C-alpha cells in the first residue's frame, strides 16, 4: 500500500518539542524504520528535514511551502487552508495514495482533508480547548469553530488517540464507532549520542532539586507547584531547590520572578528557559523528583521521560497521567496543594521509596 504521512503539526513553531510534535515525529520514525512492506510518502513544510526521519525518495515528498512568519500566517489563514487542502488532494490523487494518516488533527486549527478514494486515519491528541473552555475558547465564535472541527473526526475511516483517556473524551463528543478508535501510545526520545553523554558526564549540580519540565500555560498548573514549594521552603530542614525547565513566554517569566521576589526565593528557584535534550536528560537523571501538577494531559510525555531516566515522579492523579504510572508514580489528588506537599515529604523522609518506585 501507499501511505501518506501528514507531518505538518510537528513542523509548526511551538509544537515541535511538545507533545504533538514529539508524538508525530516518533510515530513517523517507527513506521519508516520498521515497515518494509508499504511505500511511505511525506507531507510537510520546508523544514521537514528538521525531523531527521529515515530517508525517503524525493519524489515521495510534498513540501507545501516555507513556514511563514506567525503574523502573516494568521492573516492568510483561510487562504492557506484552501491552498494546503488543494495541494494535498493533488498529491494524494497523483500518487494514488491508499491511506492518508493525518497527525495534524489535534488542535482547533488543523486542516482536514478527506476527499478522494483513499482511506483517512486521523490522530486526536487531546480535547484540552473544550475541557478548559473558559481559558481557551472564551469567545462563542472560537467555541463554534472548535466544535465544527471536532465533528470532522466523524468523516475519518479510523481514529488513533494517544491514550485511553483521550479516546474516552473524544467518544463522549462525537458519533463514531468505538471499535474504530484505537489508542497508540507515543515513544520516548532517549539521548543516545556520545556528545550528549559527554555533556551529562561533565556537568555538575551539587544541590538537590525538584524538577518541572514542560509548558507553562494554565492547565499545566505550575502555580500549584510554586505554592507547595513556598510552603516547603519555610521549613529550614527542607533544603531542596526547584528547577523550572522548558520554553516559557515572557509574561510567565515575569509572574514567576515576581513570586520569587515576594517570597524571598530568588536563590531557590531557577528558570532555565529552552534547553537541549542533553541538558534535559541531565536534569532528569540528577533530580530528587520530577513533579507533574498538570490538570489534564492527553498523554503526558514528561512523566514517561522521567521514568526512563530513573527519576522518581510525583504526579496529579487525572486524565492520562493516572493511566501509565501504577506503582512507579507517587500520585497526589489534583489541585490539592497539601496532598502534593505530603507526597514530597513522604519521598524525602523515606529514601528507600524512590528505589521501590523505580524497581
- pLDDT > 70: what percent of the chain? 88
pLDDT, averaged across the chain: 87
Q: What is the pLDDT of residues 165-223, one digit of tens each?
A: 999 999 999 999 999 999 998 876 665 556 666 666 666 666 799 999 998 888 999 99
Q: What is the pLDDT of residues 82-118, one digit of tens each?
A: 788 888 888 999 999 999 999 975 444 445 555 668 9
Residue 316's SS3 state is strand
User: Above 70 in pLDDT, residue 297?
Assistant: yes
Let me know how long the chain is: 359
Burial of 21 (0-12, 13-18, 19+ CB in 10 A): buried
Burial of 37 (0-12, 13-18, 19+ CB in 10 A): exposed
Do 183 and 124 form a contact (C-beta atoms < 8 A)? Answer: no
Q: Could you tell me which of 331, 298, 296 has the C-alpha nearest to residue 312?
A: 331
pLDDT at 70: 66
pLDDT at 5: 96
**What is the average pLDDT across 271-280?**
87
Q: What is the pLDDT of residues 276-287, one digit of tens each?
A: 888 888 999 999
User: Above 60 in pLDDT, residue 303?
Assistant: yes
DSSP structure class, residue 127: -
CA atoms within 13 A of residue 324's CA, in its CB half-sphere: 27
pLDDT at 108: 41
Q: Could you tell me which of 56, 74, 89, 99 has the C-alpha nearest to residue 12?
A: 74
First and final C-alpha spacing in the chain:
43
Domains in the chain, CATH or no CATH each = 2-183 (3.40.50.2000), 194-358 (3.40.50.2000)
pLDDT at 197: 60
User: Above 60 in pLDDT, residue 260?
Assistant: yes
User: Above 90 in pLDDT, residue 226?
Assistant: yes
DSSP structure class, residue 67: P
Top mean pLDDT of 133-137, 223-227, 248-252 is at 223-227
pLDDT at 337: 97
Q: What is the pLDDT of residues 135-161, one digit of tens each?
A: 999 999 989 988 988 888 998 999 999
Angstrom distance (rounded) from CA 346 to CA 82: 55
The conformational region for residue 335 under phi > 0 = left, psi -120 to 50 = alpha, else beta, is left
Amino acid at each position: 500500500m501507499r501511505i501518506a504521512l501528514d507531518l505538518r503539526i510537528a513542523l509548526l513553531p511551538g509544537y515541535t518539542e511538545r507533545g504533538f510534535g514529539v508524538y508525530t515525529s516518533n510515530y513517523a520514525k517507527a513506521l519508516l524504520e520498521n515497515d518494509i512492506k508499504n511505500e511511505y510518502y511525506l507531507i510537510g513544510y520546508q523544514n521537514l528535514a528538521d525531523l531527521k526521519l529515515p530517508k525517503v525518495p524525493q519524489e515521495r515528498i510534498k513540501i507545501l511551502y516555507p513556514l511563514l512568519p506567525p503574523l502573516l500566517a494568521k492573516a492568510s489563514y483561510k487562504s492557506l487552508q484552501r491552498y494546503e487542502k488543494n495541494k494535498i488532494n493533488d498529491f494524494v490523487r497523483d500518487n494514488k495514495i491508499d491511506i492518508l494518516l493525518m497527525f495534524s488533527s489535534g488542535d482547533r486549527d488543523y486542516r482536514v482533508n478527506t476527499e478522494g478514494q483513499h482511506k483517512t486515519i486521523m490522530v486526536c491528541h487531546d480535547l484540552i480547548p473544550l475541557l478548559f473552555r473558559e481559558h481557551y475558547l472564551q469567545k462563542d465564535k472560537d467555541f463554534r469553530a472548535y466544535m465544527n472541527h471536532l465533528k470532522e473526526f466523524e468523516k475519518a475511516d479510523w481514529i488513533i488517540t494517544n491514550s485511553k483517556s483521550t479516546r474516552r473524551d473524544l467518544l463522549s463528543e462525537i458519533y463514531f464507532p468505538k471499535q474504530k478508535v484505537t489508542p497508540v501510545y507515543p515513544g520516548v526520545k532517549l539521548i543516545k549520542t556520545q556528545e550528549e553523554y559527554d555533556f551529562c558526564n561533565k556537568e555538575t549540580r551539587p544541590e538537590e532539586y525538584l524538577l518541572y519540565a514542560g509548558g507553562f500555560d494554565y492547565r499545566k498548573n505550575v502555580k500549584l507547584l510554586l505554592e507547595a514549594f513556598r510552603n516547603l521552603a519555610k521549613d529550614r530542614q527542607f533544603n531542596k531547590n526547584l528547577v523550572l525547565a522548558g520554553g516559557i513566554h515572557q509574561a510567565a517569566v515575569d509572574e514567576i520572578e515576581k513570586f520569587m521576589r515576594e517570597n524571598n526565593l530568588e536563590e531557590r528557584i531557577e528558570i532555565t528557559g529552552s534547553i537541549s535534550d542533553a541538558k534535559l536528560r541531565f536534569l532528569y537523571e540528577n533530580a530528587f523528583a520530577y513533579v507533574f501538577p498538570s490538570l489534564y494531559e492527553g498523554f503526558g510525555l514528561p512523566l514517561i521521560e522521567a521514568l526512563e531516566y530513573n527519576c522518581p515522579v510525583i504526579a496529579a492523579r487525572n486524565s492520562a497521567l493516572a493511566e501509565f504510572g501504577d506503582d512507579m508514580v507517587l500520585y497526589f489528588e489534583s489541585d490539592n496543594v497539601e496532598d502534593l506537599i505530603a507526597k514530597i515529604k513522604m519521598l524525602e523522609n523515606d529514601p528507600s521509596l524512590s528505589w521501590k518506585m523505580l524497581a
